[in-house]
């Protein structure tokens, strides 16, 4: 911002909220016009407009700055030009190379969330999938995350939709840590008010997204002292849920069966998909055998590749498992011809 500023434009940085209105007003009255540059909602802009009097204000509210997205130097320059605070640009800004394959962040190879999402999509093909904030938000790429609002909102949004009269099934996903943070309140409300929905608690025993901090489900405190973990099962039953099943999502058959069972029932159903985060498992010394594709059996059908695991590639029309494999063996259960085998075996 300051880098772009011409010498006849002054600059005021607002670093704290609430803003001293008298101080702000005094600054504004010394100037001909004001441009407010801020990300997200026009919080500062509203205060500026309140105290600006007759001084014209440029910002989001009159279309000079966008409401959405992150700002960068080029965008700020564009806003300043549009509002007449900078002369129009001369010369061209280099454009990125077009049409490169995207590389969005993805769930780890062997992440159990991927297996759980796969099973959910398989059983509830055309459902509404409210979700929450955690690594599993990346399930959006698998088409099994429809909403992410704030921590705990998957269950509350889900129960709202379930009561709305929409005929679709509602399957919400929420992590163990988020569930204990603000998910349980929504669950109590959903059960008490008789929502029809399935809640899958993606229980990886840790707060993985933010760097593996322990939570009350982990069994150790923040200082590493062992402590009894909360029982998610008991918590859900105490909230009035009759159908609570805990299942290892690496067991695809079991996971599919439990989901099908839940689909047939009314009320709030809770499935706890429990498996340790793959990164934690590696740190704890869990060693699993890696898998490989028998290229003589592989038909190149692409079922395993569409699963979206970064350890599975398609090379010359055949699947190949690379060294990212963490040995979860879910792809073994997916392969329709049994071409995926343990490494070192034929």
38 binds other proteins (CB under 8 A): no
Question: Based on CB atoms, which residue is closest to other proteins, 89 or 234?
Answer: 89
Distance in Å, CB of 74 to other proteins, minimum? 6
Question: Based on CB atoms, which residue is closest to other proteins, 114 or 269?
Answer: 114
Question: Based on CB atoms, which residue is closest to other proteins, 199 or 208?
Answer: 208
E strand or H helix at 186 = helix 184-192
Tokens representing residue 83 in the block = 């509002």
95 binds other proteins (CB under 8 A): yes
103 binds other proteins (CB under 8 A): yes
User: Per-residue b/e over 190-219, b at no fewer than 16 CB within 10 Å?
Assistant: bbeeebbbbbbbbbbbbbbbeeeebbbbbe
96 binds other proteins (CB under 8 A): yes
Task: Find the part of the chain contacting other proteins (CB under 8 A) among 26-34, 90-98, 160-168, 213-221.
Answer: 90-98
E strand or H helix at 247 = strand 243-247
Beta bridge partner(s), residue 312: 321
310 binds other proteins (CB under 8 A): yes
Which x/- pattern, by CB under 8 A, does the window 106-135 give for other proteins? xxx--------------------------x
Q: What is the dihedral of CA 146, 148, 149, 151, to 10 degrees?
A: 140
314 binds other proteins (CB under 8 A): yes
Using an 8 Å Cβ cutoff, are 209 and 134 in contact? yes
Over the Cα atoms of the chain, what is R_g? 26
The C-alpha atoms of residue 201 and residue 203 are separated, in whole angstroms, by 6
Task: Find the part of the chain contacting other proteins (CB under 8 A) among 72-80, 233-241, 287-295, 329-337.
Answer: 72-80
Question: Based on CB atoms, which residue is closest to other proteins, 212 or 342?
Answer: 212
Task: Find the part of the chain contacting other proteins (CB under 8 A) among 195-203, 237-245, 292-300, 309-317.
Answer: 309-317
Tell me the backbone φ, ψ of residue 286, rounded to 5 degrees: -70, 125
Which x/- pattern, by CB under 8 A, does the window 251-270 give for other proteins? --------------------
210 binds other proteins (CB under 8 A): yes
> Exposed, middle or buried, 256 (CB in 10 Å: 0-12/13-18/19+)?
middle
22 binds other proteins (CB under 8 A): no
145 binds other proteins (CB under 8 A): no
Scanning the structure block, which residue is given the tokens 């069972």? 261
Distance in Å, CB of 210 to other proteins, minimum? 7
Q: What is the dihedral of CA 300, 306, 308, 311, to 10 degrees?
A: -10
Say how many residues touch other proteins, by CB under 8 A.
35
3 binds other proteins (CB under 8 A): yes
Using an 8 Å Cβ cutoff, are 234 and 240 in contact? no
**Would you call the peptide bond into 141 cis, given omega within 30 degrees of 0 as the criterion?**
no
Contact set with other proteins (CB under 8 A): 1-3, 72-74, 93-97, 100-108, 135, 141, 208-211, 302, 305-306, 308-310, 312-314
């Amino acid at each position: 911002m300051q880098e772009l500023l011409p010498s006849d434009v002054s600059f005021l940085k607002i670093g704290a909220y609430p803003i001293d209105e008298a101080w702000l007003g005094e600054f504004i009255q010394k100037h001909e016009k004001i441009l407010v540059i801020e990300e997200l909602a026009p919080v500062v802009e509203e205060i500026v407009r309140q105290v600006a009097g007759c001084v014209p204000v440029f910002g989001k509210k009159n279309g000079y700055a966008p409401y959405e997205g992150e700002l960068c130097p080029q965008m700020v320059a564009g806003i300043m030009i549009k509002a007449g605070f900078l002369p129009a640009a001369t010369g061209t800004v280099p454009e990125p190379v077009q049409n490169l394959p995207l590389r969005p962040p993805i769930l780890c190879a062997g992440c159990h969330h991927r297996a759980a999402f796969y099973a959910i999509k398989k059983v509830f093909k055309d459902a509404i999938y409210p979700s929450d904030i955690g690594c599993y938000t990346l399930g959006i790429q698998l088409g099994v995350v429809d909403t992410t609002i704030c921590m705990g909102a998957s269950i509350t949004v889900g129960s709202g939709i379930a009561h709305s009269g929409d005929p679709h099934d509602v399957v919400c996903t929420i992590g163990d840590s988020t569930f204990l943070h603000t998910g349980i309140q929504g669950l109590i409300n959903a059960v008490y008010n008789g929502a029809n929905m399935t809640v899958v608690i993606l229980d990886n025993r840790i707060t993985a997204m933010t760097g593996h901090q322990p939570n009350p489900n982990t069994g150790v405190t923040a200082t590493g002292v062992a402590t009894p973990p909360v029982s998610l099962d008991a918590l859900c039953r105490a909230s009035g849920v009759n159908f609570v099943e805990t299942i290892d999502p690496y067991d695809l058959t079991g996971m599919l069966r439990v989901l099908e069972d839940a689909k047939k029932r009314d009320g709030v159903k809770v499935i706890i998909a429990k498996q340790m985060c793959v990164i934690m498992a590696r740190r704890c010394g869990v060693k699993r055998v890696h898998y490989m594709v028998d290229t003589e059996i592989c038909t190149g059908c692409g079922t395993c590749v569409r699963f979206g695991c970064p350890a599975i590639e398609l090379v010359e029309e055949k699947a190949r498992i690379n060294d990212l494999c963490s040995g979860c063996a879910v792809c073994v259960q997916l392969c329709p011809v049994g071409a995926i085998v343990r490494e070192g075996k034929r």
